[in-house]
Chains A and B, each alone.
Chain A
Amino acid sequence: MSQHVLRGDEAVALGALDAGVTAAYAYPGTPSTGIVEALQARHAANGSAPGFWTANEKTAYEAALGVSFVGRRALVVMKHVGLNVAADPFMNSALVAPHGGLVLVVADDPGMHSSQNEQDSRVLADFARIVCLEPASQQEAYEMTREAFDVSERFRIPVMVRLVTRLAHTRSLVTTAPPRAANAIRKPDDTMGWTLLPANARRQWRALLERQPDLRAWAEASPWNHVDDGAPGATLAVVTTGIARNYFLENVGDLARRPLHLHIGAYPAPAELIAGIRSRVSRVLVLEDGYPFLERQLRGLGLRDHSVCGRETGDLPPDGELTPDLVRHALGLPVRPGVPTPDLHVPSRPPQLCGGCPHADSFQALRLALGEHADAVIASDIGCYSLAALPPYSAVDSCVCMGASIGMAKGAADAGHRPAVAIIGDSTFLHSGMTPLLDAAAANTSMTVVILDNQAVAMTGGQSTLVPSSRLEQIVLGLGVQPERLHVLDTHPTKHAANAAVLRDAIASDGLSVVIMVRECVETARRHLQERRHLPLVSEDVDG
């Protein structure tokens, strides 16, 4: 047993290591990135189980499946929107019979601190009919990750651990337990359970459904779900999930009468426990950092049933991150007075491209190249360069999901719009840009794809891309782009005019063209320079 001060992400990493995980897989995505980073740091220090960056979340999930297939424990990590990319292996993994523990950690981002949406992954755990564990503290993140592997092997299902940004990025003290050894390699005796041909899939699906009562019974008895009786004669019950419990406990001392309290950390939702508290009170307030997932289950179709309150009844906002103050309001407690905000307009300060960022130069050249084409479609993608949607650049028209830029530019071109330009970073291109480029190359669509090659996964902290950027050209050519329509440019302030001329020509020509604009991310370049000089970093913690 030892004690560590850990972020939620790090607690998950340690929990997986102490559970005897054999390998972990992920694509970087805030707020989940720190999990595999923590595994990689420990692997470098003491040779513990490795954490691998993969091309995307789907390939990460499939590699984890393979580890489980041979009987060993696997961790796969992603942010909530990454699970959309991995939805195919995820959903089907519930039908195979995981052999070694298979644990999926998903970090949701209520409030969209750094995401395109705030979808709640508990819905997807329910969709797949699997168990979900939702920690309320860094200690629970450690313990639940460990237990998730045991639950996975016991019921032969993948198990989801759902984090939220606030938990993943908060540090507190964690006590760890002695580690468990890794599983030995053991290929399954019967691989029909892993072969989802229709006849097998029907049998496996039925088997999963037949296991549901066992999962429910497990959740009913799980210590992660527990009732606090509150004051005698309490008429209000509060149901908390995950870190909502902390915001409730922050305020409960100010209530005249302590409500009945059910905390839920393990799903499927424990119906008996819920029915038990509902029969004792006239009103149930449901507190969740995410969708009104449990609230809807409690209310069912009784739309006018206001005995169940939460996000759908206006007691809490329908969207956004939960806070102790929102919970305080929902409990009917008065607002605590703060210091009045001074009578001065405080302008917002959005994130900006760093000084010296190569993307800024690429957008300057693009602006010169587009000149009279004020109505060009500039479909952009997920990365630092999406900040170019804001002033002073106002240079891109869209940012939807990983890889969407190329598909959207193709669609706009197919619909008859010229010019159509896609802007995509090197890592995003490797994640989800190759397949839409194959579509465009196959059709020789009249559009231009600009790959901003900064040789890093910059927005999530400058992780290395999967392959060196020098191989981007071979990949692009291999997908069928004509060699004479591929241009590789050094993006630099002294080369704006020359680069703009190449871009202008590419955009004006019929058919598909690809322009790769190369210069390393200013942050990773600084780091690499210091590493080469063996100097300590100026700042140990990067706000990014």
Chain B
Amino acid sequence: MADADGALSHDSHASAPMTCDIVLAGVGGQGVLSVSAVIASAALAHGLQVKQSEVHGMAQRGGAVSANLRLSDRAIASELVPRGCASLLLAMEPLESLRYFPFLSPTGTVVAATTPVENIPDYPPLESVLDAIRTAPHAVLVDATRLAREAGSMRAVNMVMVGAASNLLPLGADALEHEITRRFERKGAAIVEQNLRAFRAGRTAGRP
């Protein structure tokens, strides 16, 4: 903030810990771990410390999957995000976001894709799920499926969600775009462009 105390607040900012705790949620097979890996790699390249925790094994395709990602400018103790500490709850599926609300800080934001994965018999009506998400103090709903299609590939849904989350990360868009380019490079320039378009569309849609 540029005000009269600019220099002072800059000093205190330098000594206060910068941490960004993220809980990621989705359904097995959606690519929760890929999204986590993109953000983690970009943060590492940006000079931040990272702890990235995943669940394997019985988290087979079709089951609830979550991951924890902690970024900080200093040593990170716990592998797990404590309750009430996540500044970002990033959900690839709307219903899955609701399981982790207690982990979200009251000042944090839930960013959720709106397309449901209805592979259980008692999936609630979608509108009631979206309304429930909107009860969070800060909620961003993203039609990631449509944005990915518009970007040229349904497979780019994950990068739409990285884009939607990017506004809330302690990283510049350039750091994330660099990582996306690096990851998709071997698949050719067209795939890189699709994913960058998806990222940018998500970034625009996710602006709070």
Contact = CB atoms under 8 A, between A and B. Distances in A.
B56 A246 contact: no
A460 B135 CA distance: 38
Contact of B60 (A249, A342, A344, A544): A544
Interface in A145-176: 165-167, 169-173
Nearest to B50: A172
Given A173-B50, A541-B37, A339 B77 contact: no
A162 to B, nearest CB: 16
Nearest to B63: A351
A344 B128 contact: yes
Interface string B2-41: 0000000000000000000000001111111110010011
A541 B183 CA distance: 12
Nearest to A164: B79
Contacts, number: 191
Interface in B126-175: 128-129, 132-133, 135-137, 155
Interface in A443-491: 459-461
Contact of B54 (A170, A345, A539): A170
Interface residues of A, number: 59
Interface string B39-63: 0110010000111111111111111
B28 A351 contact: yes
A352 B62 CA distance: 6
A498 to B, nearest CB: 29
B101 A349 contact: no
A205 to B, nearest CB: 37
B58 A342 contact: no
Interface string A511-544: 0000000000001000000000000101111111
Contact of A543 (B33, B96, B119): B33
A302 interface: no
Given A170-B51, A339-B136, A342-B133, A349 B58 contact: no
A113 B41 CA distance: 26
B57 A460 contact: yes
A303 interface: no
B111 to A, nearest CB: 13
A336 B53 contact: no
Given A243-B79, A339-B136, A354 B50 contact: no
A336 B120 CA distance: 32
A31 interface: yes
Given A172-B51, A246-B78, A347-B120, A342 B132 contact: yes
Contacts of A346: 95, 98-99, 124
A113 B57 CA distance: 7
Contacts of A459: 57-58, 60
User: Which of the listed residues B49, B83, B128 has the most CB atoms from chain A within 10 Å of its own CB?
Assistant: B83
A166 B56 contact: no
Contact of B59 (A33, A341, A544): A544
Nearest to A169: B54
Nearest to B129: A344
B65 interface: yes
B124 A543 contact: no
A347 B59 contact: no
B79 A246 contact: yes
A336 B84 contact: yes
Contacts of B31: 539, 541, 543
B82 A325 contact: yes
Contacts of B44: 5, 173
A168 to B, nearest CB: 9
Nearest to B135: A342
Contact of B61 (A7, A328, A460, A543): A543
Contacts of B54: 7, 169-171
B123 A166 contact: no
Given A338-B101, A352-B119, A459-B57, A171 B52 contact: yes
A393 to B, nearest CB: 13
Given A114-B56, A347-B123, A341 B101 contact: yes
Contact of A323 (B80, B108, B124, B155): B80
Contacts of A31: 56-57
A335 B83 contact: yes
A543 B128 contact: no
Interface string A258-297: 0000000000000000000000000000000000000000
A56 interface: no
A250 interface: yes
Contacts of A540: 34, 37, 183
B208 to A, nearest CB: 15
A510 B12 CA distance: 82
Interface string B73-98: 00011111011110000000001101
Contacts of B119: 349, 352
Given A342-B133, A352-B119, A544-B60, A171 B33 contact: no
Contacts of A33: 56
B64 interface: yes
B105 interface: yes
A485 B50 CA distance: 57
Given A171-B51, A351-B60, 17 more contacts: A5-B44, A171-B52, A172-B49, A172-B76, A173-B49, A337-B106, A338-B102, A338-B103, A339-B110, A346-B124, A347-B123, A351-B63, A352-B63, A536-B187, A538-B155, A542-B29, A543-B33
15 contacts: A30-B58, A31-B57, A169-B54, A170-B52, A172-B49, A243-B79, A323-B82, A346-B99, A347-B124, A348-B120, A351-B28, A354-B60, A539-B31, A539-B34, A540-B183
- 9 A-B pairs closest in CB distance: A114-B57, A30-B57, A351-B63, A336-B84, A342-B132, A352-B62, A351-B60, A338-B102, A114-B58
